[in-house]
């Protein structure tokens, strides 16, 4: 057991983590669980053994429910003194983020007579350790079980059935057992300390020219396009059919990592000795393949190599991310490749190759790829920087053979002479649910059937993995959606099933959560990818599925534009995007600097949508603006999207945001709304009564000598807005809104209600004043609504609020002419605003 990897990954001049030294408890062996908010929140589970802490990263955290098996990825050993580490690992360092000690205590082997460290070590080597935890939160018997057929570091952490087992979520106990701080508390503390107690920087020693150690970086990813193209500003490389691999070389130590930071050291051990010949500190990006005798890469041969070690293993390197401690990320791709070529050709390496490229001739290279039976080509913008852990249109993959990653969600019973199972049931995520995409019964040998069945067995479940009813007569054994496989196939059917899928192998480098149906092109390929200043309203545009839209310096990749969003009206996603493109100048003033609660309908209005407040800042395009804001409903800080320009508006529409829902306040005065809202919700009431209620609001405000403005909700009601000029906080505004609602209800007691409960309203019109709380949202003016007809939330003149009015009369097909004629009727809502104190006095005087 060594701490060398631990020490190599850390710069102890920058991080307060303890240096790697052997230590030991006086009596019982200890365990510790640290909650770690790094690039992704996870829990680090550590067991003391032979002077170090064996460590596993548990993405979803430990569970006290025996029915729940948690994936645990074994990482480098940590020093014994790490058991008490809490604090901040600064940005730029390995594991950057905040850490608390979530739980600690002692542990013993389940067999008390065999609790020696030697026995524990032997059980771990065998791939199964049973132990008892005596912690403050985790108690009772657990098991660590190594997954067969997985990478060397993949285990399961399982709670055993005993008196401590429970279905309660132990993770809700979120405070440190040492400091009693939550991660959020620690984050605030770190921010305060950073502001007031900045550490002095150590003066560098000019004589010390030794390059700093380099660490793993998640690789840049490519988007897909279906047609090759020629362009002198782009270069073209072969698309390799293998495993994306990042090589990190430090002082004669080599680490090989998958794109998701899983170790490839054991699987591709033969590459390490060759890479050690590179006498530089360096981070390389490339693809590991196994080639047949004709020189063609084969994913199946690569799978066989991992099991048997037999095959012609090669590492094609196409990028360099760091050289001798100097980041190369900001260099252009051509500059990086020039450095890389010099580095690789300087060495005499037998199975490490520089990935060649050509410039400008994409169509020719694609035809060569077809001739050579390659998987396809990669097009890369020559001047592009390297974007860590981001998918970008600067890199485009153009495939020849159709292949997909699919989640294994079940197996069918074997028939005739076949053993173990008949076929795999496959799925992909469609939003938050998994959608069935077909079954795969070919591509298996008897050996593969047996090994795959053994790998799947720990994931057997009685619960169906999909909600849809499958038209299958086979007896199904459902599988927890954890494992991803690669399949090749002929085409996608109209009902989004794979035709003639053939199993190629498991993808140990991919997480099931990454395998998305929505992120891929499913129907016949469009014409060549093009860049447009503005999509023209033609039949060709309507039928086109994907294109690039250039807005200023931003190129926005729009996908699935021919997907039907409104089935009854045959309105497509592309038409929604085009509407927001047309109306951007009108709607943006009411979105600027406001947090967005994105209500997404990626499959149109016939399926349920979902709200997304928090965006993953590491995965979205770098040009998008976000703001970290505390969410009361979520009880934590979230990264909200801020929509200040057309490209962000269309980005949201492309995500499936049919309607746009901004906060009532801006990030400049987050606690002070710009307007007060009276939301008139009719339930099943006649709309004429809704109009009467809105006119009553107008009369009340006229009596109070204050302005108000009306718009259709776009669905079934009306919204009346009162401008405030961001002069008052949410509590003050809500009090006034409630007083106004009471006054309106008193004037219309037979038709209106202030009851929030639908049952208690008795079908009366609900005067909703609670929309004036912090974080509440309503559809913005000029927003489409996800209801039949694609109606628009439309600003009105008060003389239009009459018995002829109905929200259905304003739709995506007719409002643009109205807006062109009337202009922005909503502009006064952003004006100086009313004086609440004056209004409150008037209300009080009326009571007297």
| Mean local confidence (pLDDT), 753-768 | 84
Structure tokens at 153: 């570091």
8 Å CB contact between 218 and 40: no
Q: pLDDT > 70: what percent of the chain? A: 92
Compute the mean pLDDT over every residue in the chain, rounded to the nearest whole number: 86
pLDDT of amino acid 529? 30
Using the predicted structure, report yes or no on whether residue 538 has a pLDDT greater than 60: no
- Would 221-399 and 531-660 be classified into the same CATH topology? no
Residue 306: the pLDDT is: 84
Strands (E), 185-342: 221-224, 230-238, 243-250, 253-257, 282-291, 312-323, 326-327
Residue 68 has pLDDT above 90, yes or no: no
How confident is the model over 606-610, as a mean pLDDT? 81
**Among candidate residues 285, 219, 300, 211, the one with its CA nearest the CA of residue 251:** 211
Specify whether the CB–CB gap between 720 and 793 falls below 8 A: no
pLDDT above 90: residue 791? yes
Mean pLDDT of 466-482: 88
Q: What is the pLDDT of residues 232-261, one digit of tens each?
A: 999 999 998 889 999 999 988 999 999 888
CATH code given to domain 221-399: 3.30.470.30
Pick the CATH number of 403-514 from 3.40.50.1820, 3.40.228.10, 2.40.50.140, 3.40.50.720: 2.40.50.140
CA dihedral of 469, 474, 480, 481, whole degrees rounded to 10: -70
**Integer distance in angstroms from the first to the last C-alpha of the chain?**
83
**H/E run at residue 156:** strand 154-159
CATH number of 675-845: 3.90.920.10
Rounded mean pLDDT of 573-581? 91
**pLDDT top residue among 592 and 6:** 592
Mean pLDDT value across residues 393-422: 88
Residue 44's pLDDT is 95
3-state secondary structure of 330: coil
Q: Which two tokens stand for residue 730?
A: 């949410």
Asked if residues 432 and 272 have their Cβ atoms less than 8 Å apart, the reply is: no
688, with CB counted inside 10 A (0-12, 13-18, 19+), is: middle
**Torsion angles phi and psi, residue 608, rounded to 5:** -65, 140
SS (H, E, C) 10-31: CCCCCCCCCCCCCCCCCCCEEE
- Give residues with Cβ within 8 angstroms of 14, minimum separation 6: 90, 92, 93
Q: What is the pLDDT of residue 664?
A: 95
Query: Range with the lowest mean pLDDT among 61-75, 184-198, 726-740?
Result: 184-198
Spatial distance between the Cα atoms of 640 and 627, rounded to a whole number of angstroms: 5
Position 319 scores a pLDDT of 96
Percent of the chain with pLDDT over 90: 47
Inter-residue contact 303 to 313 (CB < 8 Å): no
Higher pLDDT, 192 or 223: 223
Q: Which of 314, 253, 257 is nearest to 281 (CA)?
A: 253
pLDDT band at 684 (very low <50, low <70, confident <90, very high): low
- Report, as an integer, the average pLDDT of 331-346: 89
Q: What is the mean pLDDT of residues 28-35?
A: 94
Separation of alpha carbons 555 and 393, rounded Å = 8
pLDDT band at 113 (very low <50, low <70, confident <90, very high): low
Q: Evaluate if residue 537 carries a pLDDT over 50.
A: no
Helix locations, 710-806, DSSP H: 730-747, 758-761
Total Cβ atoms within 10 A of residue 205: 8
Indicate whether 201 pLDDT > 70: no
Provide the 3-class DSSP secondary structure of residue 337: helix
For 479-488, letters b (16+ CB in 10 Å) and e give: bbbbbbbbbb
Domain ranges of the chain: 4-192, 221-399, 403-514, 531-660, 675-845
Give mean pLDDT, residues 129-143: 95
Structure tokens at 129: 């350790």
What are φ and ψ of residue 357, in 5° steps?
Answer: -150, 165
pLDDT band at 26 (very low <50, low <70, confident <90, very high): confident
> Which band of pLDDT confidence, cut at 50, 70 and 90, is reported for residue 149?
low
Q: Which CATH number fits domain 531-660: 3.30.360.10, 1.20.1250.20, 3.40.50.720, 3.90.920.10?
A: 3.90.920.10
Give residue-wise pLDDT tens across range 618-668: 888 889 999 999 887 777 889 999 999 999 999 999 999 999 999 999 999
What's the token pair of residue 569? Answer: 């009206």
How many degrees, rounded to 5, is the angle at CA 431 between CA 427 and CA 432?
80
Output the furthest CA–CA distance in the chain (Å, rounded): 97
Mean pLDDT of 16-22: 89
- Give me the residue label for tokens 């709380």: 773
Q: Is the pLDDT of residue 846 over 70?
A: no
State the catalytic residues. 239
Give the pLDDT of residue 27: 83
């Amino acid at each position: 057991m060594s701490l060398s990897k631990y020490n190599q990954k850390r710069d102890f001049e920058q991080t307060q983590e303890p240096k790697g030294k052997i230590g030991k408890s006086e009596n019982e062996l200890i365990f510790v669980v640290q909650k770690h908010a790094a690039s992704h929140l996870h829990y680090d589970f550590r067991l003391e053994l032979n002077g170090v802490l064996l460590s596993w990263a548990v993405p979803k955290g430990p569970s006290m429910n025996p029915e729940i098996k948690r994936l645990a990825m074994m990482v480098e050993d940590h020093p014994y003194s790490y058991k008490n580490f809490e604090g901040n690992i600064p940005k730029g360092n390995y594991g950057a983020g905040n850490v608390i000690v979530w739980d600690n205590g002692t542990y013993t082997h389940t067999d008390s007579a065999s609790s020696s460290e030697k026995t524990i070590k032997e059980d771990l080597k065998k791939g199964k350790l049973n132990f008892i935890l005596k912690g403050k939160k985790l108690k009772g018997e657990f098991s660590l079980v190594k997954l067969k057929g997985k990478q060397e570091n993949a285990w399961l952490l399982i709670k055993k059935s005993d008196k401590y087992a429970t279905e309660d979520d132990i993770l809700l106990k979120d405070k440190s057992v040492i400091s009693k701080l939550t991660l959020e508390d620690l984050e605030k503390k770190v921010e305060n300390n950073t502001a007031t107690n900045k550490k002095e920087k150590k003066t560098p020693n000019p004589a010390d020219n030794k390059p700093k150690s380099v660490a793993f970086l998640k690789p840049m990813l490519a988007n897909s396009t279906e047609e090759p193209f020629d362009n002198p500003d782009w270069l073209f490389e072969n698309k390799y059919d293998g495993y994306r691999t990042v090589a990190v070389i430090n002082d004669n130590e080599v680490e090989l990592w998958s794109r998701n930071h899983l170790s490839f050291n054991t699987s591709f051990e033969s590459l390490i000795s060759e890479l050690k010949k590179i006498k530089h500190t360096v981070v390389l990006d490339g693809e590991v393949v196994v080639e047949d005798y004709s020189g063609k890469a084969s994913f199946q041969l690569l799978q066989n190599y991992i099991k048997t070690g037999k095959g012609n293993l090669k590492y094609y390197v196409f990028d360099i991310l760091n050289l001798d401690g100097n980041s190369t990320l900001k260099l252009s791709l051509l500059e990086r490749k020039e450095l890389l070529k010099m580095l690789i050709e300087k060495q005499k390496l037998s199975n490490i190759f520089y990935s060649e490229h050509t410039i400008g001739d994409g169509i020719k290279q694609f035809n060569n790829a077809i001739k050579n039976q390659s998987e396809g080509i990669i097009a890369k913008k020559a001047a592009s920087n390297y974007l860590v852990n981001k998918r970008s249109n600067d890199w485009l993959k153009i495939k020849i053979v159709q292949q997909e990653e699919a989640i294994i969600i079940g197996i069918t019973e074997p028939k005739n002479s076949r053993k173990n199972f008949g076929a795999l049931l496959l799925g992909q995520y469609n939003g938050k649910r998994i959608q069935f995409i077909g079954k795969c019964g070919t591509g298996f040998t008897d050996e593969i059937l047996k090994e795959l069945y053994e790998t799947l067995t720990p994931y057997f479940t009685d619960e169906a993995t999909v909600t849809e009813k499958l038209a299958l007569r086979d007896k199904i054994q459902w599988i927890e959606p954890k494992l991803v496989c690669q399949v090749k196939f002929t085409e996608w059917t109209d009902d989004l099933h794979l035709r003639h899928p053939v199993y190629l192998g498991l993808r140990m480098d991919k997480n099931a959560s990454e395998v998305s149906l929505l992120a891929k092109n499913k129907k016949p390929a469009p014409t060549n990818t093009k860049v447009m200043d503005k999509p023209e309203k033609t039949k060709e545009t309507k039928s086109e599925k994907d294109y690039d839209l250039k807005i200023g310096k931003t190129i926005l990749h729009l996908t699935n534009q021919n997907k039907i969003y409104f089935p009854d009206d045959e309105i497509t996603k592309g038409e929604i995007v085009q509407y927001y493109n047309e109306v951007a100048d009108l709607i943006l003033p009411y979105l600027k600097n406001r947090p967005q609660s994105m209500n997404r309908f990626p499959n149109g209005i016939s399926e349920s949508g979902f709200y997304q407040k928090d965006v993953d800042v590491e995965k979205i395009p770098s040009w998008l603006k976000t703001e970290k804001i505390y969410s009361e409903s979520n009880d934590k800080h979230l990264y909200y999207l801020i929509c200040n320009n057309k490209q962000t508006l269309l980005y949201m529409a492309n995500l499936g945001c049919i309607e746009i829902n901004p906060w009532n306040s801006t990030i400049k005065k987050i606690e002070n709304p710009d307007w007060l809202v009276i939301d008139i919700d009719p339930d099943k009431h006649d709309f004429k009564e809704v109009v009467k209620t809105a006119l009553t609001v107008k009369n009340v405000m006229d009596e109070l000598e204050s302005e108000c403005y009306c718009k259709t909700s776009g669905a079934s009601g009306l919204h009346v807005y009162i401008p405030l000029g961001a002069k008052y906080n949410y509590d003050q505004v809500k009090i006034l809104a409630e007083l106004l609602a009471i006054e309106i209800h008193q004037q219309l007691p037979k038709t209106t209600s202030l009851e929030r409960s639908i049952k208690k309203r008795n079908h009366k019109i609900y005067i909703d004043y609670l929309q004036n709380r912090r974080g509440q949202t309503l559809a913005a003016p000029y927003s489409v609504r996800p209801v039949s007809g694609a109606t628009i939330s439309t600003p009105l003149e008060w003389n239009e609020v009459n018995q002829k009015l109905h929200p259905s009369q304003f739709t995506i097909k007719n409002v643009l002419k109205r807006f062109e004629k009337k202009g922005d009727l909503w502009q006064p809502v952003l004006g100086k605003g009313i004086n609440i104190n004056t209004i409150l006095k008037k209300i009080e005087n009326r009571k007297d």
